[in-house]
Amino acid sequence: MAVSIVPVRSAQDLERFLDVPHAVHATHPLWVPPLRSQDKDLLSPGRHPFWEHARRELFLAVRDGKDVGRIAALVDAKYNSYADETCGAFGFFECLNDREAAHALLAAGRDWLAGQGMTFMRGPLNPSTNYTCGLLVDGFELPPVIMMPWNPPYYAELLETWHLRKEQDLFAYLIERTDLNLPDWLQQEVARLKNEARFTCRTSSRKTLAEDIRIMLDIYRRSWAQNWGFSPLSSGEAENHVRELKTILDPDFFVLFFHKGEPAAGMVALPDMNPLLRRLNGRLGLTAPWHWWRSRNEIRGGYRIMLFGILEEYRLMGLPLLLLDYMLETASRRPDFQWVEGSWVLEDNAAINDLIEDFSGRITKRYRIYRRETGA
């Protein structure tokens, strides 16, 4: 039977939209079900602060009475004003290996975005670069880490046969415990920087955590301002991130560096909660503590460097080396630690890519952001 595209109009339709990833991926061992309540909030205008400056339309693809795919079309007015673009985004894309359905979804998103005055579409953004984004195009055999996507290989074919083209790749770097022996020249340079003592640093604590997250988000905003695809957080989004990060942050893996008492740089690494999320299967409940206990050793074994920012005036003063050295030195003192993933990093950010490779990081996954003009 032919595919029909249905806009999401009711609460029941939204529940169907949330069900689609389970229908597509439920049998794949590497897929990590997102928390359903969290995704529902994220997709609901009036419940999540992202929609204070954005609008969206959700679509379902239906074949033979069954939902076989979904997509969101999004306009982020704050981003467009900041970047001086007329960018429409697509995101939350999930689909069975059904080219007709995928193309119909993408066309519906394009047409809606064109009707909103957008001249091109970019994605996947779920819903912006401050959240989960990108399509996995390399590294399918590896499990995803917290707040990073996983999709099967055929997704790229579905998008590219609709003539979406690569706009930017995002790298994920892996540094393993067995690779923590740094070359002599790097150890000497780090030792020299420490002896100069031009910077002070401190880790966060439960008492200062909320304020430290706000400082880190300000460093992130200022240090990433000129990067491709950067979207400044609204105050509401920043507060929402504070609430979410407070529940999972390990203060030892949250460090701030200061120069003459002023914030200069910071880094946040999150414990990889995905082993727990797999067990929860998308729903919190009374058994959540038991699932945490069962997965605790896996969680303690891996971390994701999620936020990394250095203010421009300090970048040539050795701070990048001090940040990564702190992270790996702290991790090496943890008996359960096995690896840390730095993700994501823009492919054209040569300075950071070279830095991570100096610290024995290697690219293990690649994510892609696509683009197509809405008039094409």
| Tens of pLDDT, residues 89-101 | 999 999 999 999 9
Cβ–Cβ < 8 Å for 59, 71: yes
Residue 286, pLDDT score = 47
**pLDDT of 191 strictly over 50:** yes
Domains and CATH numbers, the chain: 3-170 (3.40.630.30), 174-366 (3.40.630.30)
Residue 210, pLDDT score = 83
Q: Which of 359, 130, 313 is nearest to 227 (CA)?
A: 130
Cβ–Cβ < 8 Å for 290, 241: no
Residue 291, pLDDT score = 47
pLDDT grade, residue 243 (50/70/90)? Answer: confident
Please give the torsion angle defined by the CA atoms of residues 68, 365, 78 and 247, in that order, rounded to the nearest 10 degrees. Answer: 90
Residue 289, pLDDT score = 58
Residue 220, pLDDT score = 92
**pLDDT of 249 strictly over 50:** yes
When pLDDT is averaged across residues 19-48 and rounded to a whole number, the result is: 94
Residue 170, pLDDT score = 98
SS3 (DSSP) at 121: strand
Residue 288, pLDDT score = 55
The rounded distance, in Å, linking the Cα atoms of 302 and 145 is 9
The rounded distance, in Å, linking the Cα atoms of 65 and 67 is 7
Q: CA distances (Å), 294 to each of 109, 249, 275, 289, 298, in order?
A: 41, 19, 9, 9, 9
**pLDDT of 213 strictly over 70:** yes
Q: Where are the strands (E) in 261-338, listed by range?
A: 262-271, 302-310
Cβ–Cβ < 8 Å for 50, 235: no
% residues pLDDT > 90 (the chain) = 75
When pLDDT is averaged across residues 8-23 and rounded to a whole number, the result is: 97
**pLDDT of 256 strictly over 90:** yes
Residue 284, pLDDT score = 62
Cβ–Cβ < 8 Å for 199, 322: yes
- More confident: 329 or 69: 69
| Tens of pLDDT, residues 263-308 | 999 999 999 988 888 887 776 654 555 545 566 667 678 999 999 9
Q: Which of 113-117, 141-145, 332-336, 345-349 has the lowest mean pLDDT?
A: 332-336
pLDDT grade, residue 181 (50/70/90)? Answer: confident
